Structure 1
Amino acid sequence: MGISAKRAAILLLPIALAACVSSDDGRSISYTDDRGVASQPFPANYRAEILAFMRTYLNNPVGVRDAAMAEPVQRTVGGRLRYVSCLRFAARDSEGGYREGRARAVLYVDGRLDRLVENAGEICAGATYAPFPELEKLTR
C-alpha cells in the first residue's frame, strides 16, 4: 500500500528545511546576523533601554537603591566585540528586604540591548560608575 503524494511531501518537509538551513562552513544560524566585528554601533538609547528592561526584569522595580551605571565601552565578551554597560544596584527581595548590591553587565548587539549578564565580575572589572537615579525612581 503506497502513501499519497501529499503525505510524502509532508514527511519530506523537515528534511528539505534542514537542507536549506545547513551550510558547508559549519557556522551556526543567527537571527541577528551577529558578525562579532569591531563595527558595532554605539547604543544611543542605552539608558532608556536599560530602564525598560529593568522594569520587567525585576520582580519589584520599586525602591531600587544605590543604583549606578558605567557608560557603554567596547569589550570582548565570548570572543566577540560588544558594547557593554555595567550596572550596579540593590533590589528588594520577595520579603521586602534588600539584597546586597552587585554588578551586572548589559551587552548590546547592533546598538540594541541584547542581554544582561548576572555574574559580571571580569566583564565589569575597572568600570567607572556614576549615579543612575532614574533606576531608583522606577515604578510598576
Structure 2
Amino acid sequence: MKRSAKFAAMMLLPIMLSACAASDDGKPITYTDDRGVSSQPFPKNYRTEVLSFLKTYLNDPVGVRDAVMAEPVERVVGGRLRYVACLRFSARESDGGYREPRERAMLFVDGRLDRIIENAAEPCAGVAYAPFADLEKLTR
C-alpha cells in the first residue's frame, strides 16, 4: 500500500468507527440488550456495579467528596419503566480542585447497569439520598 493510501485509511478509521457506534434512529447506545420488557427485576448488585463503573468513568476516582446515593426506584426513561439509582458527588478536577456536587442517574436494564444519565434532574426528582462512603474510598 502506498504511503498516501495508508494515510487516507488511517484518517477514515475514526470516522468509520464512530459511524459503527452511532444509532440510526437517534436512540442512545446501551450496554445491554434492552428488549423493552416492562417488568424489570430489582438490580441486586447495584452498589458494586456503580462503583466498578465509576472507577473507570471518572478521570480521577481518588478523592471523591460529598458522595450520596439513593436506592434504585422505578422511573419512566425513554418511554420505558426502568430502575434508576441516583448519585450526587463532587469528583476531583484535573487541577486538583472541586466543583459543586453534580447529580447523575444510573439506569438499569434487566437488573444490570446499562448507562449513566448526566442530566438527572427529572429521573432523580424526589429521591431520598443516603451517604455513599464507598464511593469516597475509591482507589485507582
The aligned counterpart of 1:68 is: 68
1: CA distance between counterparts of 2:125 and 2:96?
A: 30
Amino acid across the alignment from 2:62: V
- The verdict on how the C-alpha distance between 1:31 and 1:66 changes in structure 2, with shifts beyond 3 A counting, is closer
1: CA distance between counterparts of 2:118 and 2:94?
A: 18
2: CA distance between counterparts of 1:126 and 1:71?
A: 12
- Tell me how far 1:100 sits from its aligned partner: 1.1
Equivalent pair of 2:104/2:120 in contact (CA under 8 Å): yes
Larger Rg, first or second structure (1 or 2) = 1
2: CA distance between counterparts of 1:86 and 1:54?
A: 13
Runs (5+) with no aligned partner, structure 1? 1-27
- The verdict on how the C-alpha distance between 1:32 and 1:48 changes in structure 2, with shifts beyond 3 A counting, is closer
3-state SS, counterpart of residue 88 of structure 2: strand
The aligned counterpart of 2:115 is: 115
Does structure 1 residue 89 correspond to structure 2 residue 89?
Answer: yes
Size of the aligned set, in residue pairs, is 112
- The verdict on how the C-alpha distance between 1:121 and 1:33 changes in structure 2, with shifts beyond 3 A counting, is same
The aligned counterpart of 2:13 is: none
Amino acid across the alignment from 2:131: P
- Tell me how far 1:102 sits from its aligned partner: 1.3
- Tell me how far 1:31 sits from its aligned partner: 8.4
What stretches of structure 1 move > 6 A for 4+ residues in a row? none
Does structure 1 residue 104 correspond to structure 2 residue 113?
Answer: no
The 5 A counterparts of 1:14-53 are 32-53=32-53
2: CA distance between counterparts of 1:31 and 1:92?
A: 26
Deviations 1:36-89, CA, capped at 9 Å, x for gaps: 333111101000000000000000000000000000011100101100000000
2: CA distance between counterparts of 1:125 and 1:39?
A: 22
Equivalent pair of 1:84/1:108 in contact (CA under 8 Å): yes
**Alignment RMSD, CA only?**
1.7
2: CA distance between counterparts of 1:59 and 1:108?
A: 23
Q: Percent identity?
A: 74
Equivalent pair of 2:90/2:100 in contact (CA under 8 Å): yes
